[in-house]
């Protein structure tokens, strides 16, 4: 079965960290550019980060640059989003999406060209 599955969300206090995983089954993730998006209640979906399927370069939205790190583990067929120094403004459902078009550099903007989406994982930052 071809699918993307996110995991690693949860409840964390402000200033804390979480690592989200985006794991593929049924296809090879390294051939795809991967985007992370998030959507908070009542807000539009926001691009957070991406990693190219060309040279593997990452890109970040201004709101998370310096706090979030995206990376690949090809052996695990997984892309990670390490999130540090979390604030309540980071509370949202986080989604990953896979784009099979060669994207180098990638963009956090929603291009609408994703072959696969995950189901989302909830991140709640609260004391």
Residue 102 — very low, low, confident or very high, per pLDDT cuts 50/70/90?
Answer: confident
- What's the count of helices (H) and strands (E) in the chain, helices before strands? 0, 11
What pLDDT, on the 0 to 100 scale, is given for residue 112?
87
Tens digits of residue pLDDT in 11-70: 999 999 999 999 999 999 999 999 999 999 999 999 999 999 999 999 999 999 999 999
Going by C-alpha positions, the residue among 124, 126, 107 that lies closest to residue 36 is 107
What is the edge-to-edge ordering of all strands in the sheet holding 78-83? 3-7, 18-25, 78-83, 68-73
What pLDDT, on the 0 to 100 scale, is given for residue 114?
94
Mean residue pLDDT across the chain: 95
What pLDDT, on the 0 to 100 scale, is given for residue 103?
79
Three-state SS for 127?
coil
Q: Are 121 and 55 in contact (CB under 8 A)?
A: no
What pLDDT, on the 0 to 100 scale, is given for residue 100?
87
Three-state SS for 65?
coil
Q: Are 92 and 103 in contact (CB under 8 A)?
A: no
Query: Residue 116 above 90 pLDDT?
Result: yes
H-only helix segments in the chain:
none
Which residues are registered as beta bridge partners of 25? 3
Query: Residue 79 above 90 pLDDT?
Result: yes
Residue 104 — very low, low, confident or very high, per pLDDT cuts 50/70/90?
Answer: confident
């Amino acid at each position: 079965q071809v699918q993307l599955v996110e995991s690693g969300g949860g409840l964390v206090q402000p200033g804390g960290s979480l690592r989200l995983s985006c794991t593929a089954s049924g296809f090879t993730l390294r051939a795809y550019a991967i985007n992370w998006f998030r959507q908070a209640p009542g807000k539009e979906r926001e691009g957070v980060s991406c990693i190219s399927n060309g040279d593997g370069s990452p890109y970040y939205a201004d709101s998370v640059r310096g706090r979030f790190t995206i990376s690949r583990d090809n052996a695990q067929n997984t892309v990670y989003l390490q999130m540090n120094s979390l604030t309540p403004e980071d509370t949202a459902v986080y989604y990953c999406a896979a784009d099979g078009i060669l994207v180098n550099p990638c963009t956090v903007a929603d291009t609408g060209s994703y072959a696969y989406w995950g189901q989302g994982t909830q991140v709640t930052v609260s004391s």
